[in-house]
Structure 1
Amino acid sequence: MINAQWITLEGVVKEGHKVASGMAKDSPYPQGTIEMQLPFFKALGLDLTDFFPGTLNVSIYPHYFTLKNPQYTFKQVKWNPDYPSEDFSFCECRVYFENLHYHALIYYPHPETKIGHFQDRYTVEILAPLIPKIEYGDQIILQVNLLEIALEK
């Protein structure tokens, strides 16, 4: 991206609610929310088929982010017939783990339209390709674009 302003943060991979991937035992979404949302995002112009169908949850404590100018924002996406429509934004990022880097996206279901499974303010949900050997507690390097998000402490 031209004129991108990238900043590098350290992060720690943490366990999420496991509904995005469908791995939660009590999830109302057996195939996972991401798998269910993929065709809706693709129809809106964002093809996520190269990404793992689940989120990588990363704590960037003591930082947290707010949206500035996301690469994509989709309003009122009705991805599940049993629940209200939701708004989603996606911001470009890069994940570095074990000397490899991965093009990724910050996945941001807007809390004001989301019905449950909220993250704490220091957790970033990331869509990325499958990253071999990554586990909870692993440290990663995350690069974010300050044209798309603002970081605060």
Structure 2
Amino acid sequence: MLTRDTRDWQFVDGLVKPGHQVASGLAANSPYPAGTIAMQTPFFKTLGMDLSGYYQGTLNVSIAPKEFKILQPEFTFRQVKWSPEHAAEDFSFSICLVIFNGLPRPGLIYYPHPETKLDHFQDPHTLEVITVKLAGINYFDYLQLGLNPEAIELISSQ
């Protein structure tokens, strides 16, 4: 798993909220029964990003009232053709820390670039997070994210 020096984190509180459930394949009407993350994982591995130790889905974490801007993510993959059903997409990842119930866990901010994404867009307050399976996590639970300030800018939207 990817890790980062703890001295450089910027911390933000977040609320786990329901998502589209397409990343995990749990959506009833998903055209991707295994989930998009499981389908994308082999492509990312070929490009140097191994997601095999992480849960094959995303946590949708609202950091409202803050918004975010992707600056210089640690990894960006362009024109990834992971599905025969639609055009290639661009993806960025930034190493993060997920703190739930006082326990820090490794994670990644998963950012499918909206300009190349077909659908299932997130609001500007929501970060998609890939992490290990978190026992006991539920919708509307609070957690804290440690973000790389060189990769992600937090913006006050009030």
Tell me the TM-score normalized by structure 1.
0.97
Unpaired runs of 5+ in structure 1? none
1:58-97 per-position Cα deviation (integer Å, ceiling 9, x unaligned) = 0000111111110100000000011000000000110111
Deviations 1:3-59 (A, max 9, x none): 963211110000000000000001111110000000000000000000000001100
Q: What is the match of residue 61 of structure 2?
A: 58
Unaligned runs of 5+ in 2: none
Q: Look up the SS of the partner of 1:53 in the other structure.
A: coil
1:42 is paired with a residue whose SS is helix
- The aligned counterpart of 2:15 is 12
Task: Tell me the amino acid that sits aligned with residue 74 of structure 1.
Answer: F
TM-score if structure 2 supplies the norm length? 0.94
Q: In the aligned structure 2, how far is the partner of 1:23 from the partner of 1:91? A: 25
Deviation of the 1:133 alpha carbon: 0.3
C-alpha distance in 2, partners of 1:7/1:66? 14
Q: Match for 1:143: what amino acid? A: G
Cα root mean square deviation, aligned: 1.2
2:96 to 93, 108, 115: 93
The equivalent position to 1:138 in structure 2, one of 135, 141, 146, is: 141
Aligned to 2:51: 48
Partner of 1:107: 110
The count of aligned residue pairs is 153
Question: Take 1:149 and 1:141, find their aligned partners in 2: how far apart are those partners?
Answer: 15
Aligned partner of 1:83 among 86, 111, 116: 86
Distance 2:122 2:42 in 1: 24
SS in 1 for 2:44: helix
Runs of 4+ in 1 over 6 A off after TM superposition: none
Percentage of pairs with the same residue: 50
> Of 21, 26, 32, which aligns to 1:23?
26
Q: Distance in 2 between matches of 1:64 and 1:104?
A: 19
Name the SS for the 1:107 alignment partner: strand
The SS at the match of 2:41 is helix
> How far has the Cα of 1:2 moved from its partner?
6.0
SS at match of 1:40: helix
